Amino acid sequence: MKPSLLVARAVFPEVLEKLTMHFELTSNQDDTLWSSVELIRQLQDKVGVFTTGSERIDAAVLSACPDLKICANMAVGFNNFDVVAMTAAGVLATNAPDVLTETTADFGFGLLLATARRITESEHFLRAGRWHRWRYDMFAGAEVHGSTLGILGMGRIGQGIARRGAHGFGMQVIYHNRARLDEATEVACGAHYVSKEELLKRCDHLVLVLPYSAESHHAIGAAELAQMKPTATLVNIARGGIVDDVALAAALRQGRLAAAGLDVFEGEPTVHPDLVALSNVVLTPHIASATIPTRRAMANLAADNLIGFLIHGQPLTPLNPQVLGR
């Protein structure tokens, strides 16, 4: 008898077909957003679950689902997983790194351009029928080429953005990270390591690409925003909660920051109304990895982790590999 598996959100049909070859499948192709109670009900008797960022796997879920052995996230981020609780329960956690790096870096740089050059704001102006004449300062934004790009969090995606800025736009790239990169990687990225304080003070454009954790919660708050240039822009493609959205909205409204581009939000899909009300914010619905080839690769990697672990005992990208030895 095949192991029982839950696919918690809608996914590509061909991925379901691949999983069906190995598992008795229950799939949510209607893409219903389940409450924690409903998720627990769906997980009864399941040994594995294919998740996205919307399914919270915590101690309560794990306690109620004793048969669960693996949760495979179709995302590089995993702040929906309580990894400590999963490890204590002997449940493997996996994510989908690498396959979305370049696509997400493309989007991050695109969001930077849209923010700095006021593309969304000017399009809304035009669509509203308000463009009646040209003016020398109409939607004059910030320079991108030759400016200073600051990156907070210099993993794979941060490095991709650095390369685009340094080699494509002649930007001076500075970064801050928990650990400094090796010299060869810095050279390849055209990037220079600085303190967080110097990063905030010097950058013309700040891009956030650090993982979310208790330590990075509100890594950019009122105090950090106060250190930035009033002409600077901020782009967040990391996770909601890294930025204090209320403090950011206040800085933008009061002219203490020029503009922001946000793909992630605290409490998403809800977006703070103060941000929605501002014209100098580009807002996108968590789509930085959204190309069909990349999303297909992410889904296939999650599926391959499930097959690799439950069928062959060898997951591809474990987050808590210590579980494997039990």
d(CA 307, CA 312): 7
Provide the greatest CA pair distance for the chain.
72
**Which phi-psi region, left, alpha or beta, contains residue 221 (left: φ > 0; alpha: ψ -120 to 50)?**
beta
Surface-to-core class of residue 217, CB atoms within 10 Å of its CB (0-12 exposed, 13-18 middle, 19+ buried): middle
d(CA 190, CA 139): 30
Active site residue 178: no
Active site residue 205: no
Strand partners for 192: 174
Give the number of other Cβ atoms within 10 Å of residue 291's Cβ: 16
**Which residue in the list 156, 272, 286, 296 is annotated as catalytic?**
286
User: Sheet of 172-176: strands edge to edge?
Assistant: 191-193, 172-176, 148-152, 205-208, 233-236, 259-262, 281-283
The answer to whether the CB of 107 falls within 8 A of the CB of 237 is yes
Nearest Cα to Cα of residue 18 among 223, 254, 251, 305: 305
List Cβ neighbours of 45 (8 Å cut-off, separation of 6 or more).
4, 67
d(CA 151, CA 169): 15
d(CA 252, CA 237): 18
**Which residue in the list 22, 218, 268, 296 is annotated as catalytic?**
268
Q: What is the DSSP string of 224-276?
A: HHHTS-TT-EEEE-S-TTSB-HHHHHHHHHTTSS-EEEES--TTTTS--HHHH
Give the number of other Cβ atoms within 10 Å of residue 126's Cβ: 10
List Cβ neighbours of 143 (8 Å cut-off, separation of 6 or more).
116, 204
Active site residue 132: no
**Which residue in the list 117, 176, 205, 239 is annotated as catalytic?**
239
Catalytic residues: 239, 268, 286
